[in-house]
Amino acid sequence: MPDLPIDEDAGLGRFRRGTWWSVTATTGFFLVFVAGAWVLDPAVALWARVTGAAALAATGLSGMALLTRRMTPSPDTPSPVSAPSVVRLPVGWTVAGGAGAAVLGGLMLAHGDDGRWSLPAALVVSIAATFLRPAPRWGLIGASALAASGVGALSGAPLPGAAVLPPAVVLVTAWTTLAMLWGWDVAKRLNDVRRLAAELAVKEERLRFAADLHDIQGHHLQVIALKSELAARLAEADPARAAAEMHEVRRLAADALSDTRAVVQGYRRTTLDAEIANATGVLAAAGIDARMSVEPADARRLPEAGRHLLGLVMREATTNVLRHSRARHAEVDYRVTGDLARLRVTNDGAGDLARLRVTNDGAGDQPSDQHGDQPGAGGTGLRTLAERLASAGGELTWEHDDDRFAVVARLPARSAEDR
């Protein structure tokens, strides 16, 4: 099987955006509610309010930038889920956010705020801590809480509130931020596992193909080498026997070529039931919910040639789903009604197929031409398969409606001799 582009699922992208907005909205709301109210307080000096507003903007923008960097690492950087320590903390945004939080918190503390002044710094520390491994992460949060408690105790505000409320704000803010980002980390890790499972399924199929090819070629080539050596030794002593051995070598070479073509083109005679079973595992490994509606007795009602043709259709349809769609659900329905067998494969992620164009040389919008095979070239694209089914008395059609793509193959359930 070819390499399959396992893209990030569209649902995961929406979940990432939802998590980003949840964290941003929650932290932004409390920051504006607490610090904004102080900035708008007419009892505060104008210069302090202007400076506080600038520090509030710097803190908020820096927090959003850090959160964006945390959830969307660069393509050449490992995911923070798998390797948090290699995701570098943006120094510029961290310094800007820390400076803004320090100025804003200092102004609030200097004007008599006894606990809420620690919120801006708590937000910056909480987001910055997510770039670290668990041990240093909680070490940073704990040190920040102790520092907030010490500053509050030395500020001259009434105790014990001045020493208890600031560290509580730091811990609650950190817990809330990390809890929401933890959900994103778990989802990202599950998506990585799904991608890995799909890649392993492809590699397993490759190894199976390589093993079959090795078995065929290895046996034939070994016998050919032995018989060629024997013919060379008999060339002078027994020319007739040497000629017979060379005829046998030619026959073995022809058999090897035939068997190799069978493996490459038909994979040792593709059958419908085998391809349906293979599609179930491959689609499941790619995170696609595949529902199969197949009666084993119906699959056996077709002659061998019919099962082979529908098996090729099943394989091509499965490849289309994996390579050219973002499907979440796929359905396979096979049934025999009267003397007509019908195979229908549908998926709900064909939005990308609409952007492709049909051309006359075999590269088209329908995934029929994804391999660029021409009629009669031995390929297995949908257009070539449609011609092969038509020659067998059947038909192959496909339709694209919004995000749904359906491939339908119909074939007489009886052989030509029976009809």
CATH number at residue 402: 3.30.565.10
State the Cα–Cα distance between residues 56 and 59, nearest whole angstrom: 5
Does the pLDDT at position 407 exceed 90? yes
The reply to whether 350 falls in a domain is yes
Tens digits of residue pLDDT in 362-384: 333 344 443 334 333 334 478 88
The alpha carbons of the chain give a radius of gyration, in whole angstroms, of 34
Do 63 and 45 lie in one domain? The reply is: yes
The reply to whether 203 and 295 lie within a common domain is no
Asked whether residue 16 falls in the same domain as residue 159, the answer is: yes
Alpha carbon distance 109, 44 (integer Å): 12
Same domain for 111 and 33: yes
Mean pLDDT of the chain: 77
Domain-located, residue 371: yes
pLDDT at 102 over 60: yes
| Range 208-214 average pLDDT | 74
Confidence of residue 395 (pLDDT cuts 50, 70, 90): very high
Give the residue numbers spanning the domain of 234: 197-266
Q: What's the burial of 297, exposed, middle or buried (CB within 10 Å: 0-12/13-18/19+)?
A: exposed
- Cβ contacts of 254 within 8 Å, gap of 6 or more: none
Full strand arrangement of the beta sheet holding 395-401: 289-294, 329-337, 340-347, 404-412, 395-401
Q: What is d(CA 336, CA 173) in angstroms, rounded to the nearest whole number?
A: 62
Q: Are residues 21 and 117 in the same domain?
A: yes
Does 177 reside within a domain? yes
Please check whether residue 183 lies inside any domain of the structure: yes
Range 102-108 contact pairs with CB under 8 angstroms and sequence separation of 24 or more: 103/51, 103/52, 103/55, 104/35, 104/52, 104/55, 104/56, 104/59, 107/48, 107/51, 107/52, 107/55, 108/35, 108/38, 108/52
CA distance 309 to 138: 61
pTM above 0.75, yes or no: no
Same domain (yes/no): 174, 228: no
pLDDT tens string 221-238: 877 887 888 888 888 888
Query: 23 pLDDT exceeds 60?
Result: yes
Please give the Cα distance from 406 to 250 (Å, whole number). 47
**Within this chain, do residues 181 and 236 fall inside the same structural domain, yes or no?**
no
Task: Compute CA distances 370 → 2, 182, 295, 373, whole Å.
Answer: 12, 40, 30, 8
Q: Which residue has the tokens 């100025």?
A: 103
User: Contact 368/333 with Cβ under 8 angstroms?
Assistant: no
DSSP one-letter code for 8: P
Closest among 340, 301, 332 to 316, alpha carbons compared: 332
- pLDDT top residue among 357 and 82: 82
Residue 221 lies in a domain: yes
Query: Is residue 136 located within the same domain as residue 71?
Result: yes
Q: Which residue carries 């503390």 as its tokens?
A: 109
Measured distance CA(283)–CA(286) in Å, rounded: 5
Same domain, 17 and 165: yes
Identify whether residues 116 and 167 lie together within a single domain: yes
Q: Is residue 418 part of a domain?
A: no
Q: How many domains, the chain?
A: 3
Selection from 103, 112, 104, 100 nearest residue 43 by Cα: 112
Check whether 415 has a pLDDT greater than 60: no
Domain end residue (candidates: 173, 193, 213)? 193
Q: Which of 233, 266, 299 is the last residue of a domain?
A: 266
Final residue in a domain of this structure, among 232, 266, 300? 266
Q: How large a percentage of the chain has pLDDT more than 70?
A: 79
**94 shares its domain with 209:** no
Classify residue 345 by its DSSP letter.
E
Cis peptide before 160 (omega within 30 of 0): yes
**What gap in Å lies between CA 211 and CA 218, rounded to an integer?**
10
The domain spanning residue 253 has which CATH number? Answer: 1.20.5.1930
Q: Do 178 and 228 belong together in one domain? A: no
